[in-house]
Amino acid sequence: METILSSHSLHPILNPKASISKNLLLPSQQPRPVSLFLSKPITCTPKKPTSQLVKPSLAEPRNWFIHAQQGLAALAISLALNFSPVLYTGNAIASEFDVINEGPPKESYVVDDANVLSRVTKSDLKRLLSDLESRKNFHINFITVRKLTSKADAFEYADQVLERWYPTLEEGSNKGIVVLVTSQKEGAVTGGPAFVQAVGENILDATVTENLPVLATEEKYNEAVYSSAKRLVAAIDGLPDPGGPQVKDNKRESNFKSREETEEKRGQFSLVVGGLLVIAFVVPMAQYYAYVSKK
């Protein structure tokens, strides 16, 4: 049998590297001999990593700090929203400026920014106004907005739209602008010199005071716009005025009764109360008398 010996088990003479390395080490650094027979067994218990012990103590302050930061951020946002000035970002506020900046409609005659007109009304307006433009060369645009914030009333806004859409006299002479403000229940009609002369002051005033406000108060916006268009077209064509809607009498009946009705009701009430009092006294006495007479 052959014995295979490792290089570490050879004599120091045969293994010069081991002897040299041992001699070079200091006495304090030289390895001590290890006894193979120990009197007492040595037990080793693995220590838990320190990170697991530290994490719980650090996690709670960290979570508390994060919650505090989030609370302060929410408080800052709330204070900023409550005390900062209101920005004009709403659709109803920004819409009036959008109408002016976008210019006149190209494919229709209506800018329904208030979104109160039906498809049927828009189609009828397009057919009526396109026929008028082809025959008389007058162009009328209808605009609906929810609320006005930049101008005092619908007339100033209509004039502003006319000036921005048709800046020159040649462009705006035969143009008309009709504005309906749904929240304020009012309207306005304006236009260039040729349009105003063709319609006439009487029809313009009647349309503004009858068609637009009366029907808008009843929230009949489709009828308000289309009846105004028919009235303006009839005036330009020289036809009889179809007229405006009838103003309804909204007087309420009084809940107070007249003096005669009050006196009559008072007499009836006295009779009823007197009858109840008689019954309340007479019936118990009659019952008592009948009870005593039986004995």
pLDDT average, residue stretch 143-153: 86
Residue 142 in this model has a pLDDT that exceeds 70: yes
Which tens digits make up the pLDDT trace of 171-213? 999 999 999 999 999 999 999 999 999 999 999 999 999 999 9
HSE, CB side, 13 Å, CA atoms: give it for residue 211: 27
Query: What ranges do the domains of the chain cover?
Result: 94-237
Run of H or E including 188:
strand 186-191
Between strands 186-191 and 139-145, the pairing is unpaired
Judged by DSSP in three states, 27 sits in coil
Residues forming a β-bridge with 177: 141, 190
pLDDT average, residue stretch 106-135: 95
What pLDDT band is residue 249 in, cutting at 50, 70 and 90? low
- List strands edge to edge, sheet with 139-145: 110-112, 139-145, 175-181, 186-191
DSSP state of 7: G
Query: How far, CA to CA in Å, does 112 sit from each of 94, 95, 141, 185, 206?
Result: 14, 10, 11, 15, 23
pLDDT average, residue stretch 90-100: 65
Residue pair 206/244 in contact (Cβ under 8 Å)? The answer is yes
**Whether CATH 3.10.310.50 fits 94-237:** yes
85-89, 135-139, 162-166: range with lowest mean pLDDT:
85-89
Judged by DSSP in three states, 84 sits in coil
pTM: 0.55
Residue 156 in this model has a pLDDT that exceeds 80: yes
Phi/psi of residue 227, each to 5°? Answer: -65, -35
Which tens digits make up the pLDDT trace of 14-71? 344 444 344 434 444 444 444 333 344 444 444 444 444 444 444 455 565 666 667 7
DSSP state of 208: I
pLDDT average, residue stretch 66-94: 55
C-alpha dihedral (29, 33, 35, 38), degrees to nearest 10: -20
